[in-house]
Structure 1
Amino acid sequence: MKRYLAILLLLCMFGSIMYVYAEDNADSGSGNTNNALQGKGYYRSAEYMYKVSVYVGLRDSVDMDNDIGDFKMIGNNPIFIKPKSFSLPSGLITSSHNKFKYRIGAGLSSVSFDSVTYIEDAPPPIPITNGGNIDAVKSYFGDVNTLNMMLNAFADQKGTTREGLISNIQFTINNKTDYYPPEDILPVKINGQYQNKVAWLIVYEPVIITYTKPNSSGYRQPIAFTATEYALSQKLGYFNWFWGSTGQYVAGMTHSDLPNSIVLEESWVGVPVTSPLKDGVHWSDDRIIRGGGIGMRMLEASGVDVIPNDTTYDYTYRVNTDVITSVMVQAASGDITPDTRHKEKDTRKSAYTNPSNGKAYVTITANGQSTTMPVVIPNGDSQYAFLKWRTPSQPCEVTINVNISGNSSARLQEGGRSTSFKVKIEGLAENAPPDPRPTDKMPNFEIPSMPYEADKMTATWGIYSAVWDADYRWHENWKKYHSGCYTKTRADGSTKRVHRYKWVDEGWWEDYGQWDYTYTRYTASIQADMELKPDAYNPTAKEKYGEYTIASGYGVDIKVDAGITTNAPSSHYTTAQNVVTYFPEFHYNNYWRLLDKTGGRTFEFKENPYSTFNSRTHFTPLPYPDGAYKVYSKVIDCWTPDGMLRVNLNDGVTIEGSVYDDWHVAPDLP
């Protein structure tokens, strides 16, 4: 077993400066892990990994549009990257291939994890299943330092050097096939420019460890699989991850959340785009094998699109917005308790009657706003600590500082007791469309498809509390005391003094109690609805069964209703604060309208300066072709400790004819 303690530590997780290559291909879907944790099998949200393969292009012309056969895999098998925050369970098994191999027919191979190569570093949590952020994942695998770290691991796996990994490979560069020096192939920077004359591709697949239901001996088999491997093992009948007498009852993770967690935004190297499914909808085995649970990053030939010193952020917020920034706090080396009475059983002692404070305190500061949150957590568990704060009014960069004091068991997820990271505050100004004119043209325009972006409609988090459950037991301590004396006359008439004694139990109560922890679970879900209808000043709009038809050139009005259902106190969440709307005539790009909040949960267009009546309307373009006119809206900035809830909506009308059809020009009668 080969293990590597990487020196990158927290670079990717907390916004440090990194060298990043720009081409990425990963997106995330929606979901939560509530149901996946119930039932017979289970998994732990803190135990995750990534299975990583690295490929090098065999020609200088090879890029993401080529087939994977035009690349060569580096190393013998994929390597794993795991956080240092947990220990691998004994007896863990996995399989040795990646999605590409499975897609062309490779079978599952039961391999002891002791025989694979893995790196211990600080990879960000997997989205959805482990509460991660897809942008943090993309930044981590887009860091050239991460690529170089993996190349070193692959070299050790093969018993060679980085240079030795590619020394026996022929490359075609400038139409010449030959063996090239390593400095022409490896991602080496000279004078600020990467020298690789061929592309490098990182393929990463999220991995979750499942503990199967107990066998007859009570043993739970730990299994580290990618989404593809869970699907393949289900398809082949090796495991039933669903339900029933043989079921593991973790299909919410294996066939929904994990394949949804990372998917491709574009088709690369022969892997098709396979869009996320809605939360709770199970993927088919074949659909997962085809494209679920996979992300890629590419460093193109000669360092094309390399962005050195690109700052990455754990969070991106909008200006003038209430947000919640959270960190995961864990009890790493013992219970975090309200006080320390459990350390002294003798109820007479001051350490019991006057115990020290046993809590931990998490202080989070951002933009001059701060909170100190006391936490109590049982050993081995974790919970969020968080700050609700208001972002500045201007775009900028804000540093978040986190410090833990008190109970020494309390640690951040990465192992330390303090950290700082940067968040980006970006503007959200409306980029309103220009004034529509009668002379506007739309040559060769085709009605575009609706965009697809991931929803996150539910969030789950919780807070631990603890009460003392006393268990008093009497500790005997018998002592003998003199209680007086008397004169005893003997038979012969003589006397003697007789002393009386009594036994007194001077014992005391000892408390063998324990702290009873309660986890108060909070949930939040966003509900949103959108209605697009003709402007009130449209005299010829038609409605049938709730569907509207208008002529092009008239306006449409919008009403978005967005609310949140939660059992949490108001300090734990914000309501939806922004709605951004895009239009088909601009291919859902370039121009957008930022809606006004006109009621407690209602959003509408701003008043249109080009409207005669200052209506809250958007004018459809005169040359828009007959057919569907659908408007797309993103409801955002509904924040919880478990991240931002967001939902994407659309509604439309049908265009039939134009406003010119409603007017008839005729000469005046004499």
Structure 2
Amino acid sequence: MKQFLLFLLSSILVLSLFQLTSFADGTGDGNIDNGGGGMGSGTSQNKWVPGYDGVRVTVIRISDEAPISTPVDYTNKTPSSNLIHFEKVSKMQYRNGTNLSVKVGGYAYQTPALPMPQIISSGGSITNIEVIKKYFCSEGAIKMISNDTGIDYALLTSGNYKLLLEPIAYFTFEGGFMGMTAHETALYDQILNGGLRSKMVSLTHQNLPLSMFLETSDLGFPAWNGSTSSRVSNDQIIASLGLGIVRFNNAPTIPSPSQTSYQYRTDTDVITSVRLSTSAEITPDNPASVTFAIMGSTYTVTNIVIPEGDSQLVWIKWHTPSTPQSVSIQVSSTNGLLSVSSITASLIDLNQNPPPNPTATDRNDSFQLPAFPNYPSITTASWGIWSASWHEYWVWISNWQWHSTGKDTGYWIDYGYWKDRGWWDYIWTSYFASLSATQSVVPDSKSPVLSSKRMKSGYGIEITTNSATFSNAPSSHITGAQYTVTYFPEFSYQTYWRLHDLKSGGVNANFWLKTNEYSTYQSRVHFTPVWFPDGPYIPITRILDAWTPEGMLTLQLQETITISGNLFSDWHIAPKKTK
């Protein structure tokens, strides 16, 4: 009987491997790696059962990194009808500013025809990332996703799209059954001020986020080069963890900036940040300090405290020189581990490509309206800092001594003392910032106009922009927008551009076009080409250099003005009047 059972189990294992291999004929290319560790013990109110996991899949268009499908959740399990979840939102959408929105019940999911491999490791079972890769890169999985998203298989695999994968955990927290991605656990834990981490740390801040991360940077997310077996912070999860990407053949390559190379504008207030991590707690008794050495000056951040196994961003605000150059920044710390020790900052001058002088004889008979570009917008950011306070815990240390009063008689006296065996309580203070802006594009006030939104080609336009940076952080954490640049359709939104002058600065910054050297009245205008065809004329403006410790906030604005006719129709030719 024992031999039969062993044979039966072996047969089932071989059959399972054969089915998985058949399903895993490679179609895509997986940018996925993983890690994890053991699980702590749970309670009836706070627990996770290994195998209760899934994957959220979102189709992303490469050209503008936009989600083009409603995310689909796949799981082998049957979640509770009263599952508490945050609806269908991808990591990409959260990065772009979507907030958590809780919902009870109504959770939609798909059960794959061929069960998925286990996604999240536990103390008793370690997942196999190569098996996970094969599964989600297989023709069968891609066709399943094509069917469930309603996107044609040939289109999906054309090389213009990628699949964003996010592991999901289904678990009991404070008695409620919940389902969430790693990104959502980090956002939820921030709301609870560490409440989720305190009860479910091995799952939510170790095994779930480390079950998928990138081997190489992609879609604006960095590769993970940290520990694959330690607990991680909310910031690390939000920035780098809990995701994998499936790419297809002939997919266009989008370069990602190096983790140690930054680009700044000249003569600008910027914020340079690094992450400081620690395996042992950094306390107020022995706090860390981080020093940035920049162009002969040093900037030191002191009194940094971090709990065991966690991290935080450390940053300085400084002003860049007025001339383009490459600046080397060296970073050192008295305690903990820095994410970066050397940074190369490239300082560029944007005021290098103003449009040439337009003339009445300019022609462009082959002109066609260019494709409308969508520059990436980052309008929100979040970060935080740790602080610590001492939690007193007094205990009596006994020291009994015998006092003899005679043979075999005496008494005991306790010469003990009270001792504080307390600990440091760490408090996370969260900060955020958001950027918004409005724009006005109107005909030049000195030219004849048809209306505030209609004009003849050859005349100028005036562009004004108002930006607002809102934050709950101290002013040392942020800057307002400092640069605004506009691109124009006649140059296909490239080659030439116009900078704006800062009319008023700060968190509520106002901009207007620089003075046009070709304007008779030295007006702040841009002249439309006389040959521009009738129809929409859409300049695009980018708001830049609103800095936070999490990076630069930026957004794109566009306003349409309609071209109808040209300035030649305003000319009148007549014989000279004679007496």
Q: TM-score range by the shorter chain?
A: 0.5 to 0.7
5 Å-filtered alignment, 1:202-221, equals: 208-214=166-172
Does the C-alpha gap of structure 1 residues 36 and 326 become closer, same or farther in structure 2, counting only changes over 3 Å? same
Residues 92 and 222 in structure 1, CA contact (< 8 A), matched pair in contact too: no
Cα distance in 1 for partners of 2:482, 2:332 equals 29
Deviation per CA, 1:268-304: give whole Å up to 9, x if none.
xxxxxxxxxxxxxxxxxxxxxxx9874888899xxxx
Deviation per CA, 1:542-568: give whole Å up to 9, x if none.
13xxxx111111110000111210111
Residues 389 and 426 in structure 2, CA contact (< 8 A), matched pair in contact too: yes
Residues 595 and 605 in structure 1, CA contact (< 8 A), matched pair in contact too: yes
Question: Relative contact order: is structure 1 or structure 2 higher (C-alpha 8 Å, sep ≥ 6)?
Answer: 1
Does the C-alpha gap of structure 1 residues 659 and 212 become closer, same or farther in structure 2, counting only changes over 3 Å? same
Question: Letter of the aligned partner of 1:616 in structure 2?
Answer: R
Secondary structure in structure 1 of the residue aligned to 2:568 = helix
2:575 matched to 1:667?
Answer: yes
5 Å-filtered alignment, 1:542-581, equals: 542-543=451-452, 548-581=453-486
In the TM superposition, what is the alpha-carbon distance from 1:90 to its structure 2 partner? 5.1
Cα distance in 2 for partners of 1:391, 1:397 equals 11
Cα distance in 1 for partners of 2:560, 2:247 equals 33
Match of 1:589 among 494, 498, 512: 494
2:352 matched to 1:394?
Answer: no
Question: Letter of the aligned partner of 2:503 in structure 1?
Answer: T
Deviation per CA, 1:55-95: give whole Å up to 9, x if none.
xxxxxxxxxxxxxxxxxxxxxxxxxxxxxxx9999544735
In the TM superposition, what is the alpha-carbon distance from 1:204 to its structure 2 partner? 8.5
Partner of 1:307: none
Partner of 1:3: none
Deviation per CA, 1:351-391: give whole Å up to 9, x if none.
xxxxxxx2222222222333222321112221101121222
Partner of 1:96: 134
Match of 1:535 among 423, 444, 449: 444
Secondary structure in structure 2 of the residue aligned to 1:571 = helix
Does the C-alpha gap of structure 1 residues 103 and 549 become closer, same or farther in structure 2, counting only changes over 3 Å? farther
In the TM superposition, what is the alpha-carbon distance from 1:608 to its structure 2 partner? 1.2
Residues 206 and 294 in structure 1, CA contact (< 8 A), matched pair in contact too: no
Unaligned runs of at least 5 residues, structure 2: 1-61, 67-91, 105-120, 147-158, 184-203, 221-243
Partner of 2:271: 324
2:240 matched to 1:335?
Answer: no
Cα distance in 1 for partners of 2:378, 2:265 equals 18
2:425 matched to 1:516?
Answer: yes
Question: Letter of the aligned partner of 1:603 in structure 2?
Answer: F
Secondary structure in structure 2 of the residue aligned to 1:214 = strand
Does the C-alpha gap of structure 1 residues 401 and 446 become closer, same or farther in structure 2, counting only changes over 3 Å? same
Question: Letter of the aligned partner of 2:486 in structure 1?
Answer: T
Partner of 1:382: 311
Cα distance in 2 for partners of 1:647, 1:371 equals 30
2:341 matched to 1:412?
Answer: no
Residues 290 and 300 in structure 2, CA contact (< 8 A), matched pair in contact too: yes
Deviation per CA, 1:149-191: give whole Å up to 9, x if none.
xxxxxxxxxxxxxxxxxxxxxxxxxxxxxxxxxxxxxxxxxxx
Partner of 1:656: 564
Secondary structure in structure 2 of the residue aligned to 1:648 = strand
Q: Among the aligned pairs, what percent are the same residue?
A: 37
Deviation per CA, 1:414-457: give whole Å up to 9, x if none.
xxxx7223222222224111111110111121222321111000
Residues 40 and 213 in structure 1, CA contact (< 8 A), matched pair in contact too: no
Unaligned runs of at least 5 residues, structure 1: 1-24, 42-85, 109-200, 226-247, 265-290, 301-309, 340-357, 486-496
Match of 1:370 among 293, 298, 307: 298
**TM-score normalised to structure 1 length:** 0.52
Question: Letter of the aligned partner of 2:333 in structure 1?
Answer: I
Deviation per CA, 1:188-236: give whole Å up to 9, x if none.
xxxxxxxxxxxxx9x98765544332399999999999xxxxxxxxxxx
Does the C-alpha gap of structure 1 residues 668 and 221 become closer, same or farther in structure 2, counting only changes over 3 Å? closer
Partner of 1:315: 262
Secondary structure in structure 2 of the residue aligned to 1:595 = strand
In the TM superposition, what is the alpha-carbon distance from 1:474 to its structure 2 partner? 2.3
In the TM superposition, what is the alpha-carbon distance from 1:650 to its structure 2 partner? 0.7
Does the C-alpha gap of structure 1 residues 292 and 552 become closer, same or farther in structure 2, counting only changes over 3 Å? farther
Does the C-alpha gap of structure 1 residues 566 and 598 become closer, same or farther in structure 2, counting only changes over 3 Å? same
Question: Letter of the aligned partner of 2:293 in structure 1?
Answer: T
Does the C-alpha gap of structure 1 residues 90 and 104 become closer, same or farther in structure 2, counting only changes over 3 Å? closer
Residues 28 and 262 in structure 1, CA contact (< 8 A), matched pair in contact too: no
Does the C-alpha gap of structure 1 residues 292 and 448 become closer, same or farther in structure 2, counting only changes over 3 Å? farther
Question: Letter of the aligned partner of 2:284 in structure 1?
Answer: P
Cα distance in 2 for partners of 1:521, 1:89 equals 35
Residues 92 and 221 in structure 1, CA contact (< 8 A), matched pair in contact too: no
Cα distance in 1 for partners of 2:293, 2:475 equals 19
Deviation per CA, 1:536-589: give whole Å up to 9, x if none.
11233313xxxx111111110000111210111121112111111111111111
Does the C-alpha gap of structure 1 residues 609 and 317 become closer, same or farther in structure 2, counting only changes over 3 Å? same
Deviation per CA, 1:471-516: give whole Å up to 9, x if none.
112233344558xx9xxxxxxxxxxx99997754322112232211
In the TM superposition, what is the alpha-carbon distance from 1:101 to its structure 2 partner? 2.8
Secondary structure in structure 2 of the residue aligned to 1:105 = helix
In the TM superposition, what is the alpha-carbon distance from 1:654 to its structure 2 partner? 0.6
The two structures, once aligned, show a CA RMSD in angstroms of: 4.3
Cα distance in 1 for partners of 2:564, 2:219 equals 38
**TM-score normalised to structure 2 length:** 0.60
Question: Which is greater in Rg?
Answer: 1
Residues 89 and 222 in structure 1, CA contact (< 8 A), matched pair in contact too: no
5 Å-filtered alignment, 1:230-629, equals: 262=218, 294=247, 314-332=261-279, 334-339=280-285, 358-373=286-301, 374-406=303-335, 410-413=336-339, 419-480=341-402, 504-543=413-452, 548-600=453-505, 601-629=509-537
Partner of 1:82: none
Question: Letter of the aligned partner of 1:441 in structure 2?
Answer: R
Cα distance in 1 for partners of 2:122, 2:326 equals 36
Question: Letter of the aligned partner of 1:361 in structure 2?
Answer: S
Cα distance in 2 for partners of 1:510, 1:298 equals 65
Question: Letter of the aligned partner of 2:314 in structure 1?
Answer: A
Deviation per CA, 1:72-123: give whole Å up to 9, x if none.
xxxxxxxxxxxxxx99995447352445735752689xxxxxxxxxxxxxxx
Cα distance in 1 for partners of 2:174, 2:464 equals 58
Does the C-alpha gap of structure 1 residues 221 and 554 become closer, same or farther in structure 2, counting only changes over 3 Å? closer
Residues 313 and 424 in structure 1, CA contact (< 8 A), matched pair in contact too: no
Partner of 1:53: none
Secondary structure in structure 2 of the residue aligned to 1:585 = helix
Residues 91 and 222 in structure 1, CA contact (< 8 A), matched pair in contact too: no
Question: Letter of the aligned partner of 2:171 in structure 1?
Answer: K
Residues 92 and 223 in structure 1, CA contact (< 8 A), matched pair in contact too: no
Secondary structure in structure 1 of the residue aligned to 2:281 = coil
Residues 330 and 382 in structure 1, CA contact (< 8 A), matched pair in contact too: yes
Residues 262 and 343 in structure 2, CA contact (< 8 A), matched pair in contact too: no
Question: Letter of the aligned partner of 1:661 in structure 2?
Answer: S
Partner of 1:170: none
Residues 443 and 449 in structure 2, CA contact (< 8 A), matched pair in contact too: no
In the TM superposition, what is the alpha-carbon distance from 1:636 to its structure 2 partner? 0.8
